[in-house]
Structure 1
Amino acid sequence: MKKILLTITAAVLASVGFAQLSGTYTVNGGSATGGTNYQTFAAAFSALTSNGVSGPVTFNCIEGTYNGQVYMSNASISGTSTTNTVTFQADAGNTNEVLWQHTSYPLYMYNTNLNNVSFDGLHMKTSSTYSSVVYMYRGLHTNLTWENCTFTGANTSSTSTSYSIIYGYFNSPHNVVFSNNTFTGGSHSITYYYSDYYNYTNTCSVVIEDNVMTDYYYRGMYLYNYSGYRTKFTVTGNEITGGGYSYPYGIMCYYADDGSEFSYNNVNAYGTNGGYAGYFYQAYGTSANPVLIYNNIFQVDAPNSSYTQYGLYNSYGYYTKMHHNTIRVSNSYAYSRAAYLYFTSSAYQGNEFTNNIVVSDQTGPYTVYAYIYPNALVMDNNAYSVNGGSEIYNYNGYTGTTAYNLSTWQSGASQDANSVADGPSFISSANLTPQSATINNIGDALGYTDDINLQTRSTTTPDPGAIEFSVPTNNAQPGSLVTPDAPLCDNDTTLSIMLANPGLVALTSCSLHYSVNAGTPVSTAWTGSIAPSNDTLVVMETSINFDDGDELMVWTTMPNGVQDSSTLADTISLTLWEGMSGTYAIPADYTTIADARDALETKGVCDDVIFNIAAGTYNESVSFGDISGVSEAATVTFQSASGAWNSATIEYSNNYTIDFAGADWITFKNLKVMNGSGNVFRMSGSSDHVTVDGCWAKGATGTSTTSQSLFYMQGVGHDLTLTNNRLERGASWFYSTSGGTTSKKMNLTIEDNEIKNQTYYGSLIYYFDGVE
């Protein structure tokens, strides 16, 4: 009798221990696991994979920090379906976040079948520099969703996909959704691979929508669908900005399947060297289900970057429809391309490039660099501009056409019959809303009903680009401030603007206003005549004094005596700083060289500025960007206070010690500048009139000419002088391959230097005109 009773008891306990889950549970680290509560995410997943589910299951996750990893190998949750879903969500009563973190791979899934599972409102984080947050390797994942979550990835300087915030390598059918999440850090925000070696017919789906991706190191998204496999990508409504790497990518996609869509994305991939905002390779659209790329902003907003920028890169695709995109590059590098379109044979059919705005901010880059086999690509109703004007720089490798104006392009390339060449007059680099009457309403009616901001788009006369806009009949804008000009110097005693007319009719009158430090506005009435899309100089004050730190605001109202129907860009506001001049001491006046740099970049200069650096060692890595006011009569010099090169030492042990990233008319004199593993001097931007004189530059004992040289020139600056220096060690004492046959660097002077003990290479001097 006792034996029978014991057996029954054991059976009851077993049935309780393995009961399938159904209903509502909690994940609460403040309470022990038991009843309907699980103390950790690992405990909850253990119950799910051990027991399965018999109905919908919800885990309300209580605020707090949960340290630990969920590791699943060859696991699954039995019983899930589109009805019997599993949801982990932040509890509605939380006032603080639910943080699920682990040093590496908080959620690790190997060959796991995780279906009909969602995560909502959680913060998932890795504290490692070499880890993903969510790692999925093989397995079957259907209806797997993350929404309203925050992801914090590795703080890494690696380009490896292994350190992506989300890493997914799939070899079975799957359907994965990322919606309304925030991604910060990681080498990539999302990396996706798909390859099923046994089945080419599986149709898979990845949805990435309404996410914010910032501060990734290398790529925002890397989507790789191996050629011949079937993944439909829906990438829409994402904000993608970042790239700590010198050459980052926003979206990079290989082999998108038919029906894929990339839309409403705002992508800015800015790197010190260059970058790709949108990169698409061999998309497999069909005539019935094309790949759509529309209502996107693709830009590389880094005017001082020194190498190639690509706004939109698309090659070898089939039936890709590129419509209503705003595409922009910002630097002056000769091989930058706003749009790169490469379709080299008759096999690549059905591609369209229509209703786009394509802009190069500066002279030098191509607006379009293309190879267009006949009938592979149709281009029309686009707006092109170089440097805000009516010039273009388009190239078609098939016909050999190089065009600097639209008519040459139209006749030589047989494209863009209804396109225009004129600047879009963006409000700013941060707001790419056009204001140009010339490009207004030039688009072809393609059936799109809204723009990137979900504003109504005309279905009969749409605007090109991602943003639908309207041009008011009457408009007046302070196009730019002429005086006072930054920096604030003794001769800045007038207030004048370029008064612009972006309206549709002549501007004959308006009211002009200004205020200083938010004080009482001073107003004046202006009369005259400015034709549409023109401007004129207007002096608002002939005698006025400004002080250091004054906040100046200038604005316009009542164009042609009526209310302004568009107040965008009707106001200019800025802080006025007195420019620097004279001699300063480091560390007496400025504690560090970086502090002095900050002052220069903030205030600018009015006359020669000298920084005398006291004896000692300064452990710094300092990059010098644009300094307003510099000229031959107003230079900047950093020099040893004693005049001896072994007195003041600037040293660092990585990347670079001194970088010229846009600063002109700057000299380093009689200093010892060292780097134990990186470049001693680097020119990453377009810096002119840079001099290194009487210095002892001592570098690393390495073999990398691009990262361990005494002077590595990435940029395209002119008038570089190296004189009277001791150039010791380094993989190379001078290495430069920047520029090109049509964009040579001018004037390099190298004389009276002692050069010795380089560890790999002497020098490489390439694309210079005028070397002595």
Structure 2
Amino acid sequence: MIFDDVNLAENVSACAGTPNPGNTIANPTIICPNQQSTLSLQNTIAGSGVSYLWQSGPSATGPWTNIAGTFSTNTVTVATTTWYRCQVSCTFSSLSAFSAPVQIIASILPAGTYTIGPSGNFPNFTAAVAALSCGISGPVIFNVITNTGPYTEQISIPQITGASSTNTITFNGNGNTIQFFPTNFDRHIIKLDGADHVTFNNLTVLCTNPSLGYGFLLINDADDNKIENCTIDLTASFNTSSNANAGIAITGSQTNATFVGNSGKNNIITGNTIKGGYFGITINGSFTVNSLNNEISNCTIENFYIYGIYLQRVSNSSIKENILTRPTRAFVGSFYGISHFQNGNNVIIESNRMYNAFGGNTSNTNVSYCIFHSNVTSTVGNENKVINNLIYDINNNGTIYAIYNASSSNLQYLHNTISLDYIATFSNSFTRGFFQNGFAGGIVFRNNIISIGRGGTGTKHCLYFGNTGSQITSNNNILSLNAPSGINNIGFWGNNFLTLPNWKTANAGAFDQNSVDVNPNYSNPATGDFTPSNPLADNIGAPLGITVDILNSPRSTTTPDAGAFEFSFKDLA
């Protein structure tokens, strides 16, 4: 069958009556100056003979100026905040109507409170961060709409023009989750890349990569930021020993959590829960300038592979009232609770609790360094201090150094309680309450409690001074060694000293002349209450200017108690 010279035409009805375009729609409605937005209409106008005339104006009522664009959609470049509408005409009826105008804000982000969520001002974190890129004119708050997550995205916030101590940027997560599967060269979920004065609050940050990822990465002088009351979940990493994952990394590299370089200062990390990872939190300064004025407080850092809190070239910072524990993770390495490397002044490690270090694998034989300093030399008058900390239930078969000092001068250890009393071990490894090695001067170890009742056949020391040239002041301590087996010594300085009277003869009587050997009889170790109940432990300390204890209870100004807990025996009787 052959068709020749046949014309086929579709009979399309013409537009009739008055068109109803509805609202003008813009996507996005908030942009930086000279960026583009796409305009469209709420309603589709059926029929042929429809024409479109787009207009712009400075207000919702004009005056209006015709602009390019003859279709139902139109892409516009917006230099300043502008209103847009479209005149839709039916040629055959000669009738027309205007769409309801829409405003496109093209400016730095105005001060105010915005929402993130499907029905919010911004559909997700990425859109909110894009709006910030123009700069801000005042304080900006983003509230994530409750129960709208999870948000599967990765965000990076650069330095924002206009941000300051007054013009802050706050993301309130409201319990929502942001999650991502990061790659090797972009390991972060949230990155502050030179960003300052940014706060993240009450947000769950979930890394889904089982091998690597940083919950938060702060880099390139990201200063004056806050991470508060967030949950950083790296439990996907439980089966890896890779050091490519960390809860929070303040570092000089995108791919190394402990890289010395331009990272950040004046940052506050408080009230967070960090689960898993190789590192819980790292802070690193540069070779020329230490990272200054940071705070890590009231955080629970749990089930990390090796390092809970890792500090390197850090000064004038506070590490306070944190919990470091590994209750359930079976695949773990050594236990470094709080570690400080390579110099720093005025770093206060205070009122932290370290316990249940190997709860997921008590047969583990790795080493514990609960508080660790290596080559950290501060200056006189700017001493680093370790105050009111509690170390207990270090529950495996490996060597234990509750406090370890390697060549770190001008360090003061005051009012700490160390209980190495895990009886169930069969370890033949060393147990040492305070261990010092490598020359160091200006070390003060006073008003502490060390009790060792650990099982096993290994050698045990309350105090081990491995370098006879180091300058150590040790006094007003409670040194109790009641281990059921092994080689038990109160101290070591050149050789072992079995008892406290023996130890008082070491180094020509330089050590612990006012210290005592009494069992503290802790009130309730199962609940973490290591208040001594033995009256012979009362008022052993000397006044050293420490005004409160681990519970923020006042200390006696004349006869303070040794250890982390201040107490009155009459109150315990």
| TM-score range for the pair, normalised by the shorter chain length | 0.7 to 0.9
Please tell me whether the aligned partners of residues 416 and 447 of structure 2 are also in contact (alpha carbons under 8 angstroms): yes
Corresponding position: 1:212 with 2:300: yes
Q: Which residue of 2 aligns with 1:452?
A: 550
Please tell me whether the aligned partners of residues 130 and 154 of structure 1 are also in contact (alpha carbons under 8 angstroms): no
2:530 alignment partner AA: L
C-alpha distance in 2 between matches for 1:392 and 1:408: 13
Q: Which residue of 2 aligns with 1:53?
A: 136
Q: Which residue of 2 aligns with 1:315?
A: 406
Please tell me whether the aligned partners of residues 69 and 108 of structure 1 are also in contact (alpha carbons under 8 angstroms): no
Q: How does 1:158-173 map to 2 (within 5 A)?
A: 158-170=240-252, 171-172=261-262, 173=264
| Per-residue deviation, 1:67 | 2.1
Q: Of 433, 436, 443, which residue of structure 2 is paired with 1:339?
A: 433
| Per-residue deviation, 1:332 | 5.7
Distance 1:338 1:285, change over 3 A: same
| Per-residue deviation, 1:334 | 4.5
Please tell me whether the aligned partners of residues 170 and 200 of structure 2 are also in contact (alpha carbons under 8 angstroms): yes
1:368 alignment partner AA: L
Provide Cα deviations, 1:9-60, integer angstroms capped at 9, x if missing partner: 855557755411133333332316xxxx1111111111112x1111111111
Please tell me whether the aligned partners of residues 211 and 242 of structure 2 are also in contact (alpha carbons under 8 angstroms): no
2:211 alignment partner AA: Y
Please tell me whether the aligned partners of residues 265 and 297 of structure 1 are also in contact (alpha carbons under 8 angstroms): yes
Provide Cα deviations, 1:77-104, integer angstroms capped at 9, x if missing partner: 111011111011145xxxxx22222233
Aligned-residue CA RMSD in angstroms? 2.7
Corresponding position: 1:291 with 2:384: yes
2:212 alignment partner AA: S
1:186 alignment partner AA: G
C-alpha distance in 2 between matches for 1:142 and 1:116: 7
Q: Which residue of 2 aligns with 1:236?
A: 320
Q: Of 445, 451, 455, which residue of structure 2 is paired with 1:359?
A: 451
Q: Which residue of 2 aligns with 1:761?
A: none
Please tell me whether the aligned partners of residues 45 and 70 of structure 1 are also in contact (alpha carbons under 8 angstroms): no
C-alpha distance in 1 between matches for 2:290 and 2:67: 52
Q: Which residue of 1 aligns with 2:268?
A: 177
Please tell me whether the aligned partners of residues 448 and 478 of structure 2 are also in contact (alpha carbons under 8 angstroms): yes
Q: Calculate the TM-score normalised by the size of structure 2.
A: 0.72
Corresponding position: 1:253 with 2:340: yes
C-alpha distance in 2 between matches for 1:71 and 1:40: 10
1:370 alignment partner AA: F
Q: How does 1:416-431 map to 2 (within 5 A)?
A: 416-430=512-526, 431=529
| Per-residue deviation, 1:470 | 2.3
C-alpha distance in 1 between matches for 2:475 and 2:488: 15
Please tell me whether the aligned partners of residues 371 and 396 of structure 1 are also in contact (alpha carbons under 8 angstroms): yes
| Per-residue deviation, 1:66 | 3.1
Please tell me whether the aligned partners of residues 154 and 180 of structure 2 are also in contact (alpha carbons under 8 angstroms): no
Q: How does 1:502-541 map to 2 (within 5 A)?
A: none
| Per-residue deviation, 1:124 | 1.5
Provide Cα deviations, 1:625-646, integer angstroms capped at 9, x if missing partner: xxxxxxxxxxxxxxxxxxxxxx
Identity %: 24
Distance 1:447 1:231, change over 3 A: closer
Distance 1:376 1:439, change over 3 A: same
Q: Of 346, 350, 353, which residue of structure 2 is paired with 1:266?
A: 353
C-alpha distance in 2 between matches for 1:250 and 1:455: 24
C-alpha distance in 2 between matches for 1:231 and 1:458: 29
1:409 alignment partner AA: W
Corresponding position: 1:129 with 2:221: no
Q: Which residue of 2 aligns with 1:699?
A: none
Query: Which consecutive residues of structure 2, in runs of 5 or more, have no partner in the other structure?
Result: 1-54, 57-64, 69-75, 83-103, 253-260, 359-363
Corresponding position: 1:86 with 2:177: no
Corresponding position: 1:68 with 2:178: no
Q: Which residue of 2 aligns with 1:43?
A: 127
Question: Which fold has the larger relative contact order, with Cα–Cα distance below 8 Å and residues 6 or more apart in sequence?
Answer: 2
Please tell me whether the aligned partners of residues 308 and 337 of structure 1 are also in contact (alpha carbons under 8 angstroms): yes
Distance 1:252 1:117, change over 3 A: same
SS of residue matched to 1:438: helix
| Per-residue deviation, 1:468 | 1.2
Deviating more after overlay: 436-445 vs 333-342: 333-342
Q: Which residue of 2 aligns with 1:19?
A: 107
Corresponding position: 1:382 with 2:463: no
C-alpha distance in 1 between matches for 2:155 and 2:558: 55
Q: Which residue of 1 aligns with 2:281?
A: 190
Q: Calculate the TM-score normalised by the size of structure 1.
A: 0.54
Please tell me whether the aligned partners of residues 275 and 300 of structure 1 are also in contact (alpha carbons under 8 angstroms): no
Bigger strand share: 1
Q: Which residue of 1 aligns with 2:88?
A: none
| Per-residue deviation, 1:224 | 2.4
C-alpha distance in 1 between matches for 2:208 and 2:77: 44
SS of residue matched to 1:45: helix
| Per-residue deviation, 1:296 | 0.3
Corresponding position: 1:154 with 2:154: no
Q: Of 189, 209, 225, which residue of structure 2 is paired with 1:144?
A: 225
Distance 1:322 1:312, change over 3 A: same
Please tell me whether the aligned partners of residues 353 and 380 of structure 1 are also in contact (alpha carbons under 8 angstroms): yes
Q: Which residue of 1 aligns with 2:179?
A: 101
| Per-residue deviation, 1:6 | 4.1
Q: How does 1:631-650 map to 2 (within 5 A)?
A: none
C-alpha distance in 1 between matches for 2:293 and 2:124: 31
SS of residue matched to 1:220: strand
C-alpha distance in 2 between matches for 1:423 and 1:264: 22
Q: Of 373, 390, 393, which residue of structure 1 is paired with 2:489?
A: 393
C-alpha distance in 2 between matches for 1:433 and 1:164: 34
C-alpha distance in 2 between matches for 1:216 and 1:344: 28
SS of residue matched to 2:127: helix
Query: Which consecutive residues of structure 1, in runs of 5 or more, have no partner in the other structure?
Result: 92-96, 473-564, 568-772
Provide Cα deviations, 1:227-250, integer angstroms capped at 9, x if missing partner: xxx533310011111173153221
C-alpha distance in 2 between matches for 1:158 and 1:249: 17
Please tell me whether the aligned partners of residues 189 and 207 of structure 2 are also in contact (alpha carbons under 8 angstroms): no
Q: How does 1:724-739 map to 2 (within 5 A)?
A: none
Q: Which residue of 2 aligns with 1:673?
A: none
Please tell me whether the aligned partners of residues 280 and 307 of structure 2 are also in contact (alpha carbons under 8 angstroms): yes
| Per-residue deviation, 1:360 | 1.2
Please tell me whether the aligned partners of residues 179 and 208 of structure 1 are also in contact (alpha carbons under 8 angstroms): yes
C-alpha distance in 2 between matches for 1:387 and 1:129: 43
| Per-residue deviation, 1:217 | 2.7
Larger of the two Rg values belongs to structure: 2
Q: How does 1:623-638 map to 2 (within 5 A)?
A: none
| Per-residue deviation, 1:447 | 1.4
C-alpha distance in 2 between matches for 1:352 and 1:247: 27
| Per-residue deviation, 1:135 | 4.3
Please tell me whether the aligned partners of residues 79 and 106 of structure 2 are also in contact (alpha carbons under 8 angstroms): no
Provide Cα deviations, 1:663-701, integer angstroms capped at 9, x if missing partner: xxxxxxxxxxxxxxxxxxxxxxxxxxxxxxxxxxxxxxx
C-alpha distance in 2 between matches for 1:10 and 1:71: 25
| Per-residue deviation, 1:116 | 0.5
| Per-residue deviation, 1:435 | 1.1
Provide Cα deviations, 1:437-494, integer angstroms capped at 9, x if missing partner: 222111011111111011121111111111112223xxxxxxxxxxxxxxxxxxxxxx
